[in-house]
Amino acid sequence: MKILAILGSPRKGNSEILLEEAIKLCNGKKHELTIIKPCELNISGCTACDGCRDTGQCILRDDMDKVYPLLREAQRIIIASPIFFFGVPAQLKLLIDRCQSLWYEKYILKKIFPQPIKKKALLMLVGGMKKGEIGITCAEATLKAFLRTIDVREHKTLSYLGYDEPGAILKDLVALEKVKYATKELLKND
């Protein structure tokens, strides 16, 4: 199975710990795992030029050229991200906004790419605020719009609130168990 893991955080912190736990289960002969870190990629913001309107192809040339095929081909997507200002970090949002070309392709041009198996996703969201549910709600809404655009119709969200310092997530003694369980579920074939 082709799996794409995306780290939303620009630091070595809580999201990375969660993502590493998930990807331990994604290695092996049965899977082809690719990990991307938007903060290490050169991705420009969508300029809303509408250059993709008639073709579904973005006219900007940068590291998104490598990302688009990964988004198209992945059968499972795992995203671990912190909440920044009730949303996702800007580096991840740049990648998401550049999927406007895929949005045109799917919803306006109505190009259908048959998928061999149903695509599914796992989201792991970490916020520093103890009562930061709104951050989870808003970030999940953004990610849901992104996932539906790339034909992922089903996702599960694990949320972790009140973890601010890098590594603080390890104080949650069941955090990694929850990741393991959810990843095993994600990797099941329907």
Which residue from 3, 9, 67, 146 is in contact with ligand FMN, where contact means CB under 6 A? 9
Residue 10 CB, shortest distance to ligand FMN, in Å, is 7
Please give the structure tokens belonging to residue 78: 């795992």
| Residue whose C-alpha is closest to residue 160's, from 128, 118, 120 | 128
| Residue whose C-alpha is closest to residue 68's, from 113, 26, 31, 110 | 113
17 or 152, CB closer to ligand FMN?
Answer: 17
Which residue from 85, 141, 153, 170 is in contact with ligand FMN, where contact means CB under 6 A? 85
Residue 13 CB, shortest distance to ligand FMN, in Å, is 2
- Give me the amino acid identity at 33: L
Note whether 166 binds ligand FMN by CB under 6 A. Answer: yes
- CB atoms inside a 10 Å sphere around CB 50: 10
Note whether 82 binds ligand FMN by CB under 6 A. Answer: yes
**DSSP secondary-structure letter at 11?**
S
Separation CA 12–CA 176 (nearest Å): 16
Note whether 126 binds ligand FMN by CB under 6 A. Answer: yes
> Would you tell me which residues interact with ligand FMN (CB under 6 A)?
9, 11, 13-15, 82-86, 126-129, 132, 135, 163-164, 166
